[in-house]
A and B are shown apart, each in its own frame.
Chain A
Amino acid sequence: MSLLLRISELLEPFSSDPGIYMVVLHRIDGVPIYVKAKRDKKVKLTTLLYWLEGQIKEVLYYIFTRNLSEASFKFQDMIVRMYPVSKTLVLSIIARDETPLYKLDLDLESACREINNLVVV
């Protein structure tokens, strides 16, 4: 099974959560390796995705130099939360503002660890 397929299987459950609009695995240069977005939210999310691509390198810098376990941003009715996966990858979750992400945190961190095991060669 290819790496992409294994990653998509790991992240698929999160994107099917009704409160989560989009799940993106970004590479350090801003290239989205894996993207899964809710169909009806795609237009709304496009500009945010573009913004994210431009920020990834900077955010990763802060995450790694300050040893952060995550970074969060709020945009009107949406929240963007970024979790470091490896030294080149970051997992971004875009969710409805009131979505209780703390419930998902443990699962997301576990998924990040699994992806880390896959990508660090």
Chain B
Amino acid sequence: MRVETGVFGLDSLLGGGLRKNTVTVILGSTGTGKTIFTLQFLMKGLEKGENGVYVSFDMDEKGVLDTALSLGWEEVKDYIEEERLKVRRFFAENVSYLNNELMSFIMSGSDGNSRIVIDSFTPLVSSLSYEMRNDVNWFFYKLRSLGTTVITLEEPLSGNLDEPSVTIPLFLGDTVLQLKNIGYGEAFNRTLRIIKHRGSWHAEGVFPYRILDGVGIVVEGVDYIEVRREKVDIDSLIRKMGVKVPQDLYKKLKKMCDAGVAGTEEAIKTILRSLK
């Protein structure tokens, strides 16, 4: 079952959207649109009648509302008033991911199918060491039971991703999307890359995106992926190669063909050659 991201053009690159009850990490430096991404994700759920929880370390309810209004999303105000969207600002110095107040707040707005956002996760883990990996794992485990979560992670401007505060959430997250903004104002100025998407096919490459008033983030590249898809007839390929394929392998190869990902034929040929 998939959860639509609300980001135009992205779901097709993720094989239909995010997987339900997973944790997605949005990695990006300042100015890449991480907060807009999270708001789009929440808005999509709220439009469909789901509930949302927004945990921020930078913005209070008014700040979130102002950001949404600046993009033309007036309905956010109603969602907050109806208490379908719960927004709370936490202060990093007073909180850790084991903090009951934070967890209680997330749980209070979640029904197992909610959309949860933590923007950003970095203040929670900035002093993290590798020994604390289990704690983050526990926190993500809890989040998965409460709904589908998107957390943002600040990419250091130095580009150094070796810090445990970055690597641990990246390792433990189910899906990792990297947003880049190189700041030169050309078409490939802002790009999105899907680093991982556990348990699902995802498009590989670098996809340009824009941030537009009214709609938010729009990702390009679906047609490029579609054009590159391959139609492979597994039976004729097996006949052509003249090999005997065990039934269990045949099922796997058939599944591969159905997905139609670029490079399928070459990969199957390599597998079949190994059977000779």
Residues of A near any B CB (own CB < 8 A): 1-5, 8, 27-29, 31-33, 39, 86-89, 118-121
Contact = CB atoms under 8 A, between A and B. Distances in A.
Contact of A88 (B184, B220, B223, B266): B184
B249 interface: no
Interface in B212-270: 220-224, 227, 266
Contacts of B191: 27, 31, 33
Contacts of A121: 185-187
B207 A4 contact: yes
14 contacts: A2-B220, A2-B221, A2-B223, A3-B220, A4-B205, A4-B207, A4-B208, A4-B220, A4-B224, A31-B191, A31-B206, A33-B191, A33-B206, A88-B189
Pick the most buried of B182, B185, B186, B205: most chain A CB atoms within 10 A of its CB. Answer: B186
Contacts of B223: 1-2, 5
B220 A119 contact: no
* Chain B facing A: main interface SS: loop
B227 A5 contact: yes
Contacts of A8: 224, 227
Nearest to B185: A121
Interface residues of B, number: 20
Pick the most buried of B184, B191, B222: most chain A CB atoms within 10 A of its CB. Answer: B184
B180 interface: yes
Pick the most buried of A5, A28, A32, A120: most chain B CB atoms within 10 A of its CB. Answer: A5
Contacts of A32: 206
A33 to B, nearest CB: 6
A86 B221 contact: no
A88 B206 CA distance: 15
B188 interface: yes
Contact of B186 (A1, A5, A39, A86): A86
A29 B155 CA distance: 15
A76 B220 CA distance: 38
Contacts of B180: 29, 31
Given A2-B224, A3-B220, A33 B188 contact: yes
A12 B205 CA distance: 17
A5 B208 CA distance: 12
Pick the most buried of B188, B208, B222, B227: most chain A CB atoms within 10 A of its CB. Answer: B188
Contacts of A1: 223
A4 B193 CA distance: 14
Contacts of B221: 2, 4-5
